[in-house]
Structure 1
Amino acid sequence: MTDLLIPFEYAYMVKAILVSGLIGGVCAFLSCFITLKGWSLMGDALSHAVVPGVSLAWLVGLPFSVGAFIAGVMAALTMGWLKKKSGLREDAVIGIVFTSWFALGLLLLSLYPSNLNLRTIIFGNILAISDPDILQVLIISGVSILVLVMKWRDLLLYCFDEVHARSLGLNTGFLHLLLLSLLAATAVAALQTVGACLVVAMLVTPGATAYLLTDRFGKMLVIATITGAACGLIGAYISYYINGSTGGCIVVLQTFVFLVALVFAPKHGLLNTRRQRRLAALPQTS
């Protein structure tokens, strides 16, 4: 028991565990909407597109989270404009913007060397998170959760059927921008924990897991949030004992939970699906 409590003797580990749990829960809550809307690649694109914003923010003396958020929103708007004007498929547009903005960030970091560590941006460094960074994460998380709780019904309808939402008088343009802004803000917050490479996993996997376990969106939100927060807490805790990447531990744990749900989910799991097929193949008796 004494050995199990060792991580809590270090202030940096306590901060890392709590912040990881918070970010995991916020990302998981948003992941339900991302999964329903089919924006999995959008989260990946925005998490990498914030790199030039981080570099420019350092050059002008702003907090890097401000620059990252602005860059994320601008990248999302660029994707929308390019898709509308070019007629390209959405995956092609996301790929073009994602790679070009990420390359621009790498170029800026090479032209204007700074104290920014590219490895930290890409892979995260939750163990070295400072108190000002924690405050930024708390503000971003609080605002994101508040907006999602207030607008979740409208966002649900928009994500499920945009045409129907428009016919009911909802401002789908505003909801589109709102969801993009929340996605960008949450991606910025998650950068502190898992880095740009693994943000997409935190923004997709908990929602996908909950999707397998229930057909009701309200329950999906609860399951995803609990799963994301628990994996964040436990993953950060385990990383201390195996001396491994905190972000890697969190995402691997989320993936393990997803695979368990994929196999054993009572309705959509592989075992139940196989059982239903076997029953359907049996000869019908009168």
Structure 2
Amino acid sequence: MSEFLQQLLTPFQYDYMLRAIWVSALVGGTCGFLSSFVTLKGWSLMGDALSHAVVPGVAVAYILGLPFALGAFVAGLLAAGTMAFVKARSRIREDATIGIVFTAYFALGLLLISLFPARVDLKVILLGNILAVSDPDIWQVAIISAVTVGVLVLKWRDLMLFCFDANQARTLGLRAGLLHITLLSLLAATSVAALQAVGACLVVAMLITPGATAYLLTDRFGKMLWLSSAMGVLTSLAGAYSSYYFNGATGGCIVTLQALLFLAAFVFAPKHGILAAKRRLRLAAPQP
């Protein structure tokens, strides 16, 4: 028994694993908190767009020797501004605008990486490398997470109303334009934080899946916030921990766990799951 317990505690004997576990949990909790707003607003495509649009910013930052978080954040804001400009000045639908802009930014990032292959590691950008996270990267993630969570805690009611009905928010005197920019900025910043943990390819999963899962489990937004945050933290902890034994990608382990939780909620959620829907149909069917 003691040998089994020792095997379970082995990952905690390595400094790089301890750092990876707690940084993953921090990123997971922040993404889970924000994902409730993204799910309510219906911005899954926007999250996907920003997570890929930061790639050229990361490439430029690496080439110039700047912090990658700065380049990624600027690229994310530029992408969001480009989407807003194209949508306002053309007849193109929003989904098409998002698809055009994010693929253009992502392609630019890949082009820069191909032109400067010795300075930029494509695998790190696309898949992340939480096991090699450095002290400056940890500080970047911690600051981004603290600011994001702080703004969400202070403005969660206003942001909730804006996400649910922007017109109603304007009627009540809220500055919907400012709330829109705030949410976009937080989404871009959180994408940067999660980039280190899971890479550009899987950021969108951490920004969407916890909120979507919590949405199936409750009809109250306050409870949804706690559920999505808790799922983000727990799946990130478990994913980073289990990656040691699977010898697999940490981001892949985290997102796979989140997907399994979503699948469980999709089937077994007491009110909005598939089984619950079938029970309601049986009860509503006329008895012979």
Give the TM-score taking structure 2 as reference length.
0.97
CA-to-partner distance for each residue in 1:120-166, whole Å, 9 max, x for gaps?
00001101111110111000000000000011111000000000101
Matched letter for residue 235 of structure 2: C
Cα distance in 1, alignment partners of residues 54 and 94 from structure 2: 19
Residue of structure 2 aligned with 1:136, choices 134, 140, 144: 140
Secondary structure in 2 matching 1:116: coil
Cα distance in 2, alignment partners of residues 58 and 242 from structure 1: 31
Is 1:283 the equivalent of 2:284?
no
Residue of structure 2 aligned with 1:20, choices 24, 35, 40: 24
Cα distance in 2, alignment partners of residues 263 and 138 from structure 1: 35
- 8 A contact 2:63–2:120 mirrored in 1: no
1:114 is displaced (CA, Å) by 4.1
Matched letter for residue 157 of structure 1: L
Q: Which runs of 5+ in 1 are unaligned?
A: none
Number of residue pairs matched? 284
The CA RMSD over aligned residues, in Å, is 1.0
Cα distance in 2, alignment partners of residues 199 and 113 from structure 1: 23
Cα distance in 2, alignment partners of residues 132 and 43 from structure 1: 25
User: Equivalent residue for 1:218?
Assistant: 222
Residue identity over aligned pairs, in percent, reads 66
User: Equivalent residue for 1:103?
Assistant: 107
Cα distance in 1, alignment partners of residues 20 and 58 from structure 2: 22
Cα distance in 1, alignment partners of residues 279 and 264 from structure 2: 17
Cα distance in 1, alignment partners of residues 63 and 199 from structure 2: 21
Cα distance in 1, alignment partners of residues 237 and 286 from structure 2: 46
CA-to-partner distance for each residue in 1:202-227, whole Å, 9 max, x for gaps?
00000000000000000000000001
Give the TM-score taking structure 1 as reference length.
0.97
User: Equivalent residue for 2:43?
Assistant: 39
1:282 is displaced (CA, Å) by 3.1
Residue of structure 2 aligned with 1:236, choices 237, 240, 257: 240
User: Equivalent residue for 2:270?
Assistant: 266
CA-to-partner distance for each residue in 1:58-105, whole Å, 9 max, x for gaps?
333321100100000110010011011112111100110011001111
- 8 A contact 2:63–2:119 mirrored in 1: no
Q: Is 108-117 or 159-168 further displaced after alignment?
A: 108-117
Q: Which runs of 5+ in 2 are unaligned?
A: none
Cα distance in 2, alignment partners of residues 59 and 239 from structure 1: 31
Is 1:185 the equivalent of 2:189?
yes
Secondary structure in 1 matching 2:219: coil
